Amino acid sequence: MAQETEEAAWAKIQTFPMDFPTGEQFSYNQTNYVLLGKIIDKYREKPFTQVFSERQFQVVGMPGTQFGDSRDVIPNMVQQYKYVTKLDGKALGEKRLINNYAEMSPFHRTASGLNSTAEDIAHWIIALQQGKLFKTKDALKTLWTAGTYKNGSPTQWALGWVTKPRPKHSAIIITGGGRSAFSVYPEDDLAIVVLTNLSGAYPEEFIDELAGYYNPEIPAADPVTALHMQLRKRGFEQAIDVANELKKKDANFQPSENDLNDWAYRMLNGGGNPKEALEIFKLNVSLYPQSWNVYDSYGEALLKNGRREEAIAMYRKSVELNPDNQNGKAMLARIEGK
């Protein structure tokens, strides 16, 4: 069967209905990055990859950075790899490390397919903070400021960056492919860059701990990192108790709903820890009992752990709180066979 062309795929995307009204919810996808690439192509009258190279890589001095994937010959690039427990549909009995061949078409390269080095990224962050990539001094602040929903609450995302607001040692972070991340700590004049080739490494889970070698207060300032460090010692089944203890010690301890959800999904989908993920989803429900989304996520985790009846109860609660939750309705129909 012939593959769908990029033009046909883009035309199809434009026929899809909105999942929810603009400004009311958040759902990660890469469609807007494709749109961004098309805008750059049109108004710069050249491919956006060339624009990136001319206006960023060449300005900063990033000789080890270029777009490409496993089909391209890229000097000094190490192949991606991942752990698997199944191969050709058969259980292996143990984890095995295999090559992970990635294909990122030019259509998607405003969101993926960039290959770089830690040194190049470090130079880019420095140039960014020194204002070499902007025309105005206020542009960096705009880049790192979270958006706002219609109800006035802040979103998790700034312009392509995830914000980590904290009373002290706030951070802005970028992640990629479950194997790379870099975090900037503006108050501390510090940035940490971690690039790996292991899919599922999720360096965003330990990047604050690395920053702790430079300033021990940084990991303690992040609720999720502080919680994670304790749970590795005491067990994830203690998640609610540990969170309560940390809250008693520090009134500012309040892991965000989004951060907990992101962490739990990394474990559920790529980290190989579905039971540990379940405990974090459960904690999220206890901390945010009025959020329909935490029940939806908890329901998904329960279902993946084989706990069907409990999953149904969570999806029902989610739809009760948000009658427009189409995913919850669809899951209930599927599970209950309606």
Q: How many domains would you assign to the chain?
A: 2
The domain boundary, picked from 115, 134, 159, lies at 115
Residue 242, H or E segment: helix 239-249
Neighbours of 174 (CB within 10 A): 16
> Distance between CA 209 and CA 292 in Å, rounded?
31
Average pLDDT on 131-159 reads: 91
Nearest to 159, CA basis, from 180, 183, 143, 182: 143
Which class for 192: exposed (0-12), middle (13-18), buried (19 or more C-beta within 10 A)? buried
Provide the residue range defining the domain that includes 316: 222-338
The sign one gets for the Cα dihedral 193, 69, 262, 110 is positive
- What would the pLDDT profile of 2-53 be if each residue is shown by its tens digit? 567 888 888 998 898 888 888 888 887 788 888 999 999 999 999 999 999 9
Task: Using pLDDT thresholds of 50, 70 and 90, give the confidence band for residue 101.
Answer: confident
- Residue 9 in any domain: the answer is no
- Residue 332 in any domain: the answer is yes
CATH number for position 246: 1.25.40.10
Task: Using pLDDT thresholds of 50, 70 and 90, give the confidence band for residue 193.
Answer: very high
3-class DSSP state for residue 327?
helix
The domain boundary, picked from 72, 87, 115, lies at 115
Give the rounded percent of residues in the chain with a pLDDT score beyond 70: 98
Token look-up 């990055």 returns 33
Contacts of 15 (CB under 8 A, 6+ apart): none
